[in-house]
Copies of this chain bind each other. A is one copy, B any other.
Amino acid sequence: MKKIKLKVPATVANLVCGFDILGMAVHDPYDEMEFRLLETPEIIIKHIDAFGLPEEPSGNVAGIVLLKIQEYFNLKNGFEVIIRKHIKPGSGLGSSAASAAGAAFGANVLLGNKLSKEEMIYFAMFGEELASGVRHADNIAPCIYGGITLVKSTHPIDIVSLNSPDLFVTAVHPQVEVKTSDARQILKKNITLKSAVEQWGNIAGLVAGIQKNDFPLIGRSLNDVIIEPIRSILIPKFDEIKAKSLQLGALGGGISGSGPSIFMLSEQKETAEKIAEMMKSVYTEIEIESFVYVSKINPSGIQIVEEV
Contact = CB atoms under 8 A, between A and B. Distances in A.
Interface in A218-243: 220-221, 226
A275 to B, nearest CB: 25
A20 interface: yes
Q: Which of A18, A151, A200, A202 has the most CB of B within 10 A?
A: A200
A59 interface: no
A224 to B, nearest CB: 11
Interface string A190-226: 1111101101111111111101101001001100001
B187 A150 contact: no
A64 interface: no
A199 B196 CA distance: 9
B212 A18 contact: no
B207 A208 contact: yes
B212 A21 contact: no
A85 to B, nearest CB: 30
A295 to B, nearest CB: 24
15 contacts: A18-B204, A21-B201, A150-B201, A151-B201, A152-B201, A158-B220, A160-B205, A160-B208, A189-B192, A190-B193, A199-B200, A200-B203, A204-B204, A204-B207, A208-B211
Which 3 A-B pairs rank lowest in CB-CB distance, beginning with the nearest?
Answer: A211-B211, A207-B207, A196-B196
